[in-house]
Chains A and B, each alone.
Chain A
Amino acid sequence: MDKNSSLKLGYTNRSNLKMNFLEVLLQDIGEYILLMKRVIAKPKNKAYFRKQLVDEINVLCINSLLIISVISIFMGAVITIQTNLQIENPLLPTWTIGFVVRQSVVLEFAPTIVSIFLAGKIGSHIASEIGTMKVTEQVDALETMGINSASHLILPKIIASSMVNPLLIIISIFLGLLGGWGACEFLGTIPSSQYIEGIRSWFESRDIYYALVKAFVFAFLISSISGFWGYKTTGGALEVGKTSTKAVVSSSFMILLFDLIITEIFFG
């Protein structure tokens, strides 16, 4: 079997080949790149593709809105309380607390933590949906209709999540800062006027670009990596569970790795 067709069927037998961790990793990366080459293709039917896109935006993103809002508000409040506890220094003006909170939320907490949360929520969803289609021959059915199943199944998910994740992150930033304000207003952490002065100080638009670039890249990583694991599933229900775990673990790991890379590019 040539490389391409083995990938197409998601079939690689490693049982009789003793491979070490590095070889497995390199093979997975190679297969991932080959799959992405197949994913990036012109949709067969544009109207149907648009419908898929709308569905995916609903399933992958809008359904996460409520939980992300709740997480963001609590996160902002906790960061504010913690920052105030850690920087109790009479030499620093109180409003610096607000500034530190804003930087933490914009730079790391909203884009990275929310994306890791999404890796768990939508990553497992994508991998198990595609994995189930794989083991029940639905993917085969698509292929025998002459449809590029990889592109048909994975591309709408990648585009939908890469488009909407930056939006979710903006909302998360806003609600995180609101949560911090809530801590000041209702728990009296610091005077809210000082907090507001702080979150308005020394604003640099580069920070927002940085957050948005991360949101976009992380969404791409989550959807493509989870799609890859789903597409690689063979066997039955047990394997579907295993690959969706792999999807969550590997996309969370890649998010942290790319966090480092993007930070180096922007600030290094």
Chain B
Amino acid sequence: MIKIENLYKYFDGREILHDISCEFESGKTNLIIGQSGSGKTVLMKCLIGLYEAEKGNILYDNRNFIKMAKKDRQILQQEMGVLFQGGALFDSMSVKENVLFPLIMLSNLNESERNDRAEFCLERVNLQDSQHLYPSQISGGMKKRVAIARSIALNPKYLFCDEPNSGLDPKTSLIIDELIYELTHEYQMTTIINTHDMNSVMAIGETVSFIHEGKLWWKGSKNEILNTDNDELNSFVYASKFAQHLKRK
């Protein structure tokens, strides 16, 4: 479980996150939704330690990430898997080397164990046949899957995904969403997913937090989201013509 208490983040005196308090449950896909620019990425980067929050606490199963020494932080970071928006694959390495990398740098496995683990992860995302290709040679959806394989290589307890299906077609998006959902339940990870895609919300949103202008505006389940009287949330949910059409029905 990840718990955020009264988190604030400023950039050059501008308040980006305002008093965010929230809980994300273990073994579930916790979605953070909101318009572009609302602060989702900044929040995630605070959670994984890339940005320093000015005020507040972040508790990973009661371990306070904010108050930790740098060394302890690095140890906790090894329990996190992160899927960046663009995939962030290492261009100079092949697909398999990308998955091997965290195993080489951070695990105590020997070479054949590492190899087995990398192959297992690649198989899990259905990429066993593309091991030797380089990131520049594969499609956007495949890049996301490699990034997923790399992020689960070390068996993380916490998985962070920043817009996992940005730039993908609806069908591929669905495959990626389902993959993340399955992995979350398979390994009982606490998964946090940033998205602005209502399709993802309806498909895999076990808990949904709505961020608007840096504030946590609403929290609930995907079933509650369609019948809320929160104006900002409604304008977000029913932004697409398609959704408006359904609502009128």
Contacts and interface: CB of A to CB of B under 8 A. Distances in A.
A143 B50 contact: yes
Nearest to B10: A1
Nearest to A48: B104
A2 interface: yes
Contact of A136 (B11, B78, B86): B86
A133 B104 CA distance: 20
A16 B12 contact: yes
A147 interface: yes
Given A44-B105, A48-B105, A144 B49 contact: yes
Contacts of B85: 137
Given A144-B50, A146-B74, A146-B77, A137 B84 contact: yes
A147 B75 CA distance: 10
A140 B105 CA distance: 16
Interface in B71-130: 73-75, 77-78, 80, 82, 84-86, 88-91, 102, 104-106
B51 interface: yes
A178 B227 CA distance: 85
A45 interface: yes
A129 to B, nearest CB: 8
A86 interface: no
B164 to A, nearest CB: 14
Interface residues of A, number: 21
Contact of A138 (B50, B77, B89): B89
Contacts of B77: 144-146
B104 A45 contact: yes
A205 interface: no
A62 interface: no
Given A145-B106, A146-B78, A138 B91 contact: yes
Nearest to A2: B52
Interface residues of B, number: 27
A138 B78 CA distance: 16
A45 B105 contact: yes
Interface centre among A5, A13, A141, A143 (most CB of B within 10 A): A141
A260 to B, nearest CB: 37
Interface string B10-28: 1110000000000000000
Nearest to B153: A145
A169 B50 CA distance: 41
A9 interface: yes
A144 to B, nearest CB: 5
Contacts of B90: 133, 138, 141
A141 B82 contact: yes
A165 interface: no
B74 A138 contact: no
A132 interface: yes
A13 B12 CA distance: 8
Contacts of A48: 104-105
Nearest to A5: B52
B74 A9 contact: no
A144 B48 contact: yes
Nearest to A8: B50
A137 B88 contact: yes
A255 to B, nearest CB: 28
Interface in B42-84: 45, 48-52, 73-75, 77-78, 80, 82, 84
Given A141-B84, A145-B102, 14 more contacts: A9-B50, A45-B104, A48-B104, A136-B86, A136-B88, A138-B88, A138-B91, A140-B45, A140-B82, A140-B88, A143-B50, A144-B80, A146-B77, A146-B106
21 contacts: A1-B10, A1-B52, A9-B50, A44-B105, A44-B106, A45-B104, A136-B86, A137-B85, A137-B86, A137-B88, A140-B50, A140-B88, A141-B82, A143-B49, A144-B48, A144-B49, A144-B82, A145-B78, A145-B105, A146-B74, A146-B106
Interface of A: 1-2, 5, 9, 13, 16, 44-45, 48, 132-133, 136-138, 140-141, 143-147
